[in-house]
Structure 1
Amino acid sequence: MPVAAPSSPNSAGSNAHAALHDVLIVGGGLVGASLAIALDRIGVDVGLVEATGAGTLPAVFDERNLSFAEATVNALTALGVMQKLRAATGAIERIHISRSGDFGRSVLDAARYGRSEFGRVVVARDFGEALEARLVELPRLTRYRPARFVGLDGDDGTFRAVRVAADGAEHVLRARLLVAADGTRSGVREALGIGSQEHDYQQSLFVTRVRGTRAPDGTAYERLTAHGPTALLPRGDRHYGLIHGVARDQTDAVASLDDAAFLARVQDAFGWRAGRLLACGTRSVYPAIRVLARNIVAPRAVLVGNAAQTLHPIGAQGFNLGLRDALTLAELIEQARARGTDDCGADELLAAYAQRRREDRDRTLAFSDGLARLTANDAPLLRPLRSLGLFATDRMPSLQAALVGGAMGYRGDVPMLCRGSASLERQA
């Protein structure tokens, strides 16, 4: 079987035609592209398998609004990505949480913690363009595009052989470490024989941008209902990014609404905290489903991002968690290389990765899933408990601090880049 050649390599040297990479990443979306950048900065030979061709962004880079925690902003700045953003981003200075039908609310204010903001709101399309602008600068990266993962072709204990389809034929790529960054329905995860647990929340999430009579003032709103969240995120273009959850059996009816009727529905669910909603952009809709891989490592393979765990978007934890997956992996590889070990897929390294990701992953999954299930349960006996919880969170500094730490991306063993450090050497 022939060895695949890159359609548009970043470098013209012999590396561009190498059959064996240190790391082969399948999936050029948010997490996969970020990982490629993180690995290139420490001198790792990376191959990136992308489903879309040159000049085309993956579908994930659409009009979705991404909430970047402070830790994520720190890391993407160190990687040179935030500097590539051409569109304005929106600062999250406050987080306002309430639930329809319950008393009480919780307001988290960054100023109370000595910070100007908790993070930034970035449109996925703008982020995709910034990642692409950074990817083309990488001297060691080899990009295979358009190419599609087909399956595995054996493993002799020293590398993974991976079959990809490109140019109407199948080809083989080899890597000391294979990284699955190919999303919720990961073909790599399936080929590795790693099972998953799935929970369908029976909700659909409509995503768009809206404009109201009041411009965003730095407040991110999370209005919880039995049918899912309605969130307004402060963008940098005087619009709000909207996520509006509806019961799954209402999806078609809501999708058929014209803009005026859709805005009236959102206004009824959200209230008037942002004033009257006047206009909205193109709407997209996604199912709310949690998919959790039973393992995140296999021999010479690792899962990151949505391939490892796909979360309910409540609390905006998904991409932030996936990026910490990628940065932890890159940090461990950097540490191993500093000790003179160049094998990126060594068993010891992958065991350390699984151990380091455990606390952050478990706590973030528990928070996201617990909040989604609790707020969606409309049982009358739970209403006073939820109200008491919101009331207590708003008045107890210790509870607020726990929420704030998670919202800013500081859970578990946080990668150094998330703390604002540009390299391990700079930490020394």
Structure 2
Amino acid sequence: MNASAQARHDVAIVGGGLVGASLAIALERIGVDVALVEATPAGTLPAVFDQRNLSFAEATVQALTALGVLQKLQAPAAPVRRIHVSRRGDFGRVRLDAADYGREAFGQVVVARDFGLALEARLAELTRLTRYRPARCVGVDGVDGHARTLRIRDEVGERTLSARLLVAADGARSGVREALGIAAQEHDYAQTLFVARVRSARAPDGTAYERFGEDGPTALLPRGDGHYGVVHGVARAEAEAVAALEDGAFLARLQRAFGWRVGAFLAVGARSMYPAVRVCAERLVAPRAVLVGNAAQAVHPLGAQGFNLGLRDALTLAELIEDGADPGADDLLAAYVQRRREDRDRTLAFSDGLARLTANPAPLLRPLRSAGLLALDRLPALQALLVGGAMGYRGQVPRLCRGGQA
């Protein structure tokens, strides 16, 4: 639905992907008038909702259930009951079992497309949401009184929106972030990640596997359809050659990298490839504007932290807006920065450190890594720290992530 050329809203969200759509749903429940600027037309899902597998931490599962999203899933999710971590060429391994922590599961695995359809079904129920689609933000203007204006272009032409708060949820290459003059630091891991669905001789039993190697991780996540979702990292220089492999040759490569813990790999579906690049905005806010999700930070997928972190951005912002009078007030944005600092810093450090350490081929690091894996496997206190972060409990956790009611 389009609004008038001079439409005014409480909050304007640019980006209708995982985090932007989730934020719109979270704001609806507290009575906020929201504009959602989406690049894709009605009836079409954003490209991010493909066959990738999303690993939802326990905190994320609780929040999305409270928001009424997971109830809309038409395909089954898969619980992650156990986690197995190892590195090719190193001794030691880490085995974590949710039952040891009084949990049925650490989280759930959902196919991105299935999640996108569930979000779309939930968005269709919202009554205070205006969706501008297909539309693109073509300019961000200054602050006028208690509002910021942005210019969008859609099928009708160019128009101006006014909002008390502008939210950039438009991904790692955020145009809104650039328009706000917020710089971002980048680190290219020189890895390309292949994502696919695979069938193995042994069906998933609730175990998620992370197998490290010098060229990146090979992760297997259980899926609700009885297959595994695989993420296979290769050196960037080899990416085109790996992309050209026939299915049998790709499965053989995957078998060498991962081993035989789930038996032989028998079949693989369509493969997608993505560069592994870390992007970190130097600031999270500007006058009456805020960054969330990948626009704020895009992390290496090791440990499956990306969407979980971005959702906590969105829910923290919604919580502060619920408790405040003006969604774009300076003190509210300052509180957002403070609330997100510990979770963001610790998650970024964990993801980046893990990616660098596990891929480093230096021989002297092998005994140290092996000792670390052995210690994690045998010391409950160290495991508890790892598990808490993996389940989404870092820093000041939003109420909905802790099982609060919507």
TM bin (shorter chain): over 0.9
Give yes or no for the alignment of 1:201 onto 2:189: yes
Give yes or no for the alignment of 1:252 onto 2:233: no
How far residue 167 of structure 1 moved from its aligned partner, in angstroms, is 1.4
Letter in 2 for 1:219: T
How far residue 422 of structure 1 moved from its aligned partner, in angstroms, is 1.1
Give yes or no for the alignment of 1:116 onto 2:104: yes
Match of 2:338 among 346, 355, 359: 355
Q: Is the 8 A contact 2:27 2:34 kept in 1?
A: yes
* Structure 1 residues 364-403: Cα deviation after superposition (integer angstroms, max 9, x where no partner): 0000000000001010000000000000000111100000
Determine helix, strand or coil for the equivalent of 1:228. coil
What does 1:238-249 align with in structure 2 at a 5 Å threshold? 238-249=226-237
**What residue ranges of structure 2 are gaps of 5+ in the alignment?**
none
Q: Is the 8 A contact 2:6 2:162 kept in 1?
A: no
Give yes or no for the alignment of 1:317 onto 2:278: no
Determine helix, strand or coil for the equivalent of 1:227. coil
Aligned to 2:165: 177
Aligned to 1:82: 70
Q: Is the 8 A contact 2:5 2:160 kept in 1?
A: no
Match of 1:292 among 280, 297, 315: 280
What does 1:141-152 align with in structure 2 at a 5 Å threshold? 141-152=129-140
2: CA distance, partners of 1:172 / 1:318: 32
Determine helix, strand or coil for the equivalent of 2:336. helix
2: CA distance, partners of 1:178 / 1:263: 45
How far residue 169 of structure 1 moved from its aligned partner, in angstroms, is 2.0
Q: TM-score, normalised by structure 1?
A: 0.94
Match of 1:237 among 216, 222, 225: 225
1: CA distance, partners of 2:354 / 2:141: 42
Match of 2:83 among 86, 95, 110: 95
Determine helix, strand or coil for the equivalent of 2:205. coil
* Structure 1 residues 66-123: Cα deviation after superposition (integer angstroms, max 9, x where no partner): 0000000000000000000000111100110000000000011100000010000000
Aligned to 1:133: 121
* Structure 1 residues 140-163: Cα deviation after superposition (integer angstroms, max 9, x where no partner): 100000000101133224101100
2: CA distance, partners of 1:167 / 1:113: 53
Letter in 1 for 2:171: G
* Structure 1 residues 307-359: Cα deviation after superposition (integer angstroms, max 9, x where no partner): 000000000000000000000000001111xxxx2x11000000000000000
Match of 1:413 among 380, 396, 400: 396
Aligned to 1:67: 55
How far residue 17 of structure 1 moved from its aligned partner, in angstroms, is 8.2
Q: Is the 8 A contact 2:6 2:160 kept in 1?
A: no
2: CA distance, partners of 1:289 / 1:152: 26
* Structure 1 residues 14-47: Cα deviation after superposition (integer angstroms, max 9, x where no partner): xx88711000000000000000000001100000
Give yes or no for the alignment of 1:365 onto 2:353: no
How far residue 170 of structure 1 moved from its aligned partner, in angstroms, is 1.3
Deviating 4+ runs (over 2 angstroms): none
Aligned to 2:207: 219
Question: How many residues end up aligned between the 2 structures?
Answer: 406
Q: Is the 8 A contact 2:73 2:114 kept in 1?
A: yes
Q: CA RMSD in A?
A: 1.0
Aligned to 1:3: none
Letter in 1 for 2:386: L
Match of 1:345 among 328, 331, 340: 328
Aligned to 2:378: 395
